[in-house]
Structure formats: structure tokens, C-alpha cells
Amino acid sequence: MGTSWNEEVTSCYSLCCQDRRSSKHIHDNVHGNIYLDEFFLKFVDTEQFQRLRDLKQLGLSHMVYPGAVHSRFEHSLGVYWLAGEAVHTIKAHQGSEINIERTDINTIKLAGLLHDVGHGPFSHLFEREFLPRVLNGSEWSHENMSVRMIDYIVDEHNIEIDAAMLKNVKDMVLASSANASENTPNEKRFLYDIVANGRNGIDVDKFDYIVRDSRACGLGCNFQFQRLMETMRVIDEEICYRAKDYLTVHKLFATRADLHRTVYTHAKVKAIELMVVDALALANGELSISASIQEPAEFWKLDDSILKQIETSDKQELKKARDLILRIRKRDLYQFCNEFTVPKDKQEHFKSITPQDIVCSQKNGDTPLKEEDISVSIVKIDLTRGRNNPLESIKFFQDYETDFKFPIRDEHISHLLPAFYQDMIVRVYSKKSELVGAVSKAFENYQLKTYGRKAQVHDTPEKKKSRNRY
């Protein structure tokens, strides 16, 4: 006779409680008590993992949102915890159907714990803006470095771990990458969607950072991941969600997009990021910052403290970088001039705008500008699938009595849901306050020349335009 659902739940609950009695617990301000047994502590209690304490989760956002000082360390613990909770929930409800073993649980939890161990300083700025600037065509990613760092930690600290489990942990960390399907087995395929989901974008990584980031920045968050965690179900090796939870799933992606718009790509946050990228690029020759990505043994020594290292150095070679950081400290930031959203029909073939484009848009008699006076930031905000709707990749089920899974089209739910899924915003900054007016005017000229109209919504504040008068 098969095991009943109640027996599965009782067995799973008993196992969790037994684990917790022999574990170390850490109180997290989002999830409450997080329990770590001896196996996971072998990774946590290494200098490579402890480095995550010195990487702010939101990079430089704390300079605009002072509460955003939480670290990759606590986020990683949160993802570890939610990964375990997710697989325990599935096991409690479907354990007899899909045979989730203890090794599977530990593998998923370890992948959640270590998914960001290869992250660079200042959130994604390091890999997306700094490295492409100093290493032309760089395709370095923190996911790939996380995989290398996992091997390094295991070897450096002589951690005993089954070779198959180690491989699966690394594949789970890479599960959101473009070629992840090549390394993902068909059996228990759903396990690879829990930490980093390349199939449809719903994963516990997002569950944690959406709630954690919203709380740290003092923003409300009405997305409740618990609802999805409690009701998700595996059908044909895929995690599916109740049809009635469609709007909750949509809210996940919408809340993430709102965080990008209001926090991660805030106009002043981007101004500071542009200055930090310039400072790091100026210091790279002296400090060989980019060279650290070659070996995990060197990379783990790099964290957010690199700015303080530049700031407190007395080397003449670092003076220009030091001066830029001093400007940030004194709030003498690159000045936001204006922005416009690229029209929907222009996005597919959009050509990046450069400072040269702005300079070349000046008219005779305008205050002359140089390319080095201008910074351009191009921001993309989407629902994780670019111009595509991520919900089209998600499968739903009607009730627990059937095994039929199906997609749901937006128009079957609400006509208020978006018809387009990506914004591309072009922002222009002046590096000198006295040139704000000239840069703004040149940017307006560029828009008129390119689109036949000004695409921007905001008028540049008169106080900025007139700063060069006083």
C-alpha cells in the first residue's frame, strides 16, 4: 500500500525538525530562523564565502536609499533557506510520485547557498559596465565565476563532497544561462528550476531579493512568494502553478520591474555608478583590478572596499580616480540632463547612443562640448524576457485532481495587463555642472534629428540650465 499524503508530510516535518535540533541557526530579518547543519557550515565558514559580507547586494544604491546596505551574504543565506523550503514542500505533497531524495535536497540547498559566491563588487556594475570598458568584448559572468569558486573552495578547504553532487550544484547555479539545457538532465529536471530558472524566470533567488530589497529600501511589497511556494506542483518534470494564482505570478515580474525602475536604475544611482566605473577604469592600470578575474585565488580578495583602497592611497597614479571618488563623497555628481524612452517600434534595431552622437548634434554658436564631458546610460527594464511576455513560458494547472498543464494568455485574465514588456531608456549626464545647459540642448537636438521630435518627457530644470550663470 502506498504512502499517504499525511504520512509524507509527517515524515518530511519530522526530518526537518531533527535537522534543526542539530543545526546552527541564524536569525534573518526576512525569513526568521535559518538553520545550517555541519555540511553547509563547511562552506559558510570559509574566507571565500565570508567575503560576501563585503559585497552590498544593491551595489551603490545605498547612496540614494540609505537602508540598502544589506549584503550578498544574507541574500545567499535567504536563497539557501527558500531553496530548501521549496523542495521540502514539493516532497511533502508529491514525494511518493517523484522520488526526491535527501541528496537532492542538499544539492539544491547548496546551489542556493553558493549561487552568488562568484559575484563581483557593486552588484552587476562590475561585469556589465566595468569589465566591458577595460576588456573589450568581455563575456565574463558572475555565474561562471561562481562555478569556478565552488571548485576552488572545495579544493582549498578539502571539503568532502560527492563528485556527482558537486557537478549538479554547479549545473543548478548555471541553470539560467543560455546553454544551461545542454547540462540539464531530463530526470528530475524541475530541480534545476528552483534556484536559477532559465525556463520561465520564477525562482527562489527572485523570491528572496524582491522582498529583501523592498524592505531595505523602505518600499512596500505586495508580492507574496509564500502563496506560490505553498501551491506549486510538479507535472511532467516542470514546476507548475495554479491557474487562480496567475496574477500573483504576474505581480512577481511587475514588482521586479518596479524595483529596477525606482531603485536599481534610479537616475542618481546611475550617476554614481557612471562615476565609479570611470574611477575603476582610471585605477585599473595601477591596481590591475580586471586581472583578478583570471583566478579564483585572486578574485575572492576583491570586494566593495576597492573604492576605499583608491580613496586612501597617496599614489600619484591614482589621483584622477581618487578625485572622482572624492566628488562622490561631496555629492558633486555627474548631472542628469534628461532622458527619453526609445519608441517601441525602434527598439529592435536600436543603435546605442554615444557621447560622440550628442557632441555632433550641437549647432553653430552653442557652447562647445567634448566627448569626455558627457556620459550616456542606456537602461533596459523588462519582465525578465526582454520584449517577450515571461508568462507565456509558464505552465498552470486547474486543480489538484488533474495532471493537465497549460499556458494562459494575458487577454484571458485581464485587459489591464501590459501589451509590451520592455522599456529602453536613454539618459544623458553632464560631468561638469556648468555644462548642463549645453549638454541638454545638444541632447534635444539629437532627438529632433533622429526622431523628428523631442522624445523626452521632462524639461531640464531651469536651475540646472542656469548654473553656469552664477
The pLDDT averaged over each successive group of 10 residues in the chain (470 residues) is 47 55 89 96 98 98 97 98 97 89 96 98 96 93 97 98 97 82 78 94 97 96 92 95 92 94 97 98 97 97 98 97 98 95 86 93 93 96 83 92 88 68 93 95 91 74 49
Task: Determine the pLDDT at residue 368.
Answer: 94
CA pair distance 224, 271, nearest whole angstrom: 32
CATH number of the domain at 436, please: 3.30.70.2760
CA pair distance 79, 56, nearest whole angstrom: 16
Task: Determine the pLDDT at residue 2.
Answer: 43
Q: Which of 264, 300, 281 is nearest to 121 (CA)?
A: 300
Give the Cα-Cα-Cα angle 339, 341, 346 (nearest 5 degrees): 135
pTM here? 0.92
Residues 369 and 470 reside in one and the same domain = yes
Residues 229 and 348 reside in one and the same domain = no
The number of residues making up the chain comes to 470
Residue 176 lies in a domain: yes
CA pair distance 9, 95, nearest whole angstrom: 9
Domain carrying residue 470: 335-383+421-470
Task: Determine the pLDDT at residue 466.
Answer: 52
Domain-ending residue, one of 246, 267, 288: 267
Residues 112 and 239 reside in one and the same domain = yes
Task: Determine the pLDDT at residue 359.
Answer: 96
CA pair distance 94, 82, nearest whole angstrom: 18
Catalytic residue IDs: 142
Residue 242 backbone phi and psi in degrees, to 5: -60, 140
SS3 426: strand
Domain-ending residue, one of 267, 285, 315: 267
Task: Determine the pLDDT at residue 13.
Answer: 47
Residues 6+ apart with CB under 8 A from 220: 214
Query: What is the distance of C-alpha 193 from the center of its chain?
Result: 16
Residue 400 lies in a domain: no
Q: Are the C-beta atoms of 201 and 385 separated by less than 8 Å?
A: yes
CATH number of the domain at 214, please: 1.10.3210.10
CA pair distance 174, 80, nearest whole angstrom: 16
Task: Determine the pLDDT at residue 5.
Answer: 43
Query: What is the distance of C-alpha 317 from the center of its chain?
Result: 33
Domain-ending residue, one of 220, 236, 267: 267
